[in-house]
Structure 1
Amino acid sequence: MARPIAADHEEKREHILLTAARVFAEGGYDRASMASVARACGISKALIYHYYEGKEALLFDILDVHLKRLRDRIRTVEAAEAEARPRLVAMLRVILRDYEGADHKHQLQMNALATLPAESQAVLKDYQRDMVHRVSSALAALAPEALAQNNARMRDVTMSVFGMLNWFHMWQPHASPGERDDYAALVAGLALDGLNGVRIVP
Structure 2
Amino acid sequence: MARTRAATYDDQREHILAQAAALFAHQGYPGTSMNQVAAACGVSKATLYHYMRDKSELLAQIAQGHVGRLEALVAEVGAMALPAEQRLRLLISRFVHEYANAQNQHRVLTEDVKFLDPEAHQQVLDGQRRVVQAFARTLVEVRPALAEQQLDKPLTMLLFGMINWMFTWLKPDGVLNHEAMAPLVADLFFGGLHAVNAPQPAPRVPRSTIHPKETAR
**Separation in 1, partners of 2:103, 2:179:** 18
2:145 aligned partner: 146
Map 1:33-44 onto structure 2 (within 5 A): 33-44=33-44
User: Amino acid of the residue matched to residue 23 of structure 1?
Assistant: L
Q: Secondary structure at the match of 2:108?
A: helix
Q: How does 1:20-39 map to 2 (within 5 A)?
A: 20-39=20-39
- Equivalent in 164, 171, 175 of residue 166 of structure 1: 164
Change (3 A) 1:88 1:112: same
Which residue of 1 is the match for residue 80 of structure 2? 80
Question: 1:58-97 maps to which residues of 2 (within 5 A)?
Answer: 58-97=58-97
Say whether the 8 Å CA contact 2:171–2:177 is kept in structure 1.
no
Deviations 1:14-51 (A, max 9, x none): 10000011122222211322121111100011111101
Q: Distance in 1 between matches of 2:122 and 2:97?
A: 25
| Alignment CA distance shift 1:180-1:148 (3 Å) | farther
Q: Which residues of structure 2 form unaligned runs of 5+?
A: 201-217
SS in 1 for 2:192: helix
Query: Any conservation in 2 of the 1:96–1:169 contact (CA below 8 Å)?
Result: no
User: What CA deviation, in whole Å up to 9, does each residue of 1:51-98 have, x standing for no partner?
Assistant: 111111111011111110121112111221421111011101110110
Cα distance change, pair 105–181 in 1 and its aligned pair in 2 (3 A): same
Q: Could you report, residue by residue, the CA deviation over 1:117-154 in whole angstroms, capped at 9, with x for unpaired residues?
A: 111111111111111111111111112x4323223x22
Alignment coverage as a number of residue pairs: 199
* Bigger relative contact order (CA 8 A; separation at least 6): 2
Q: Which moved more, 1:153-162 or 1:36-45?
A: 153-162
Letter in 1 for 2:19: T
TM-score (norm 1): 0.89
| Structure 1: gaps of 5 or more residues | none
Instruction: Report how far residue 174 of structure 1 moved.
Output: 1.5
How far apart, CA to CA, are the structure 2 residues paired with 1:80 and 1:175?
Answer: 33
1:189 to 187, 190, 200: 187
Backbone CA RMSD of aligned residues: 2.1
2:136 maps to what in 1?
A: 136
**Alpha-carbon distance in 2 for matches of 1:147, 1:159:** 14
- Alpha-carbon distance change, 20 to 81 in structure 1, aligned in 2, over 3 angstroms: same
Query: Which SS does the other structure have where 1:80 is aligned?
Result: coil
When normalised by structure 2's length, the TM-score is 0.83
User: CA 1:45 to 1:140, structure 2 compared with 1: closer, same or farther past 3 Å?
Assistant: same
Distance 1:142 1:155 in 2: 14
| Higher mean C-alpha deviation, range 80-89 or range 159-168 | 159-168
Instruction: Compute the displacement of 1:103 (Å).
Output: 2.5
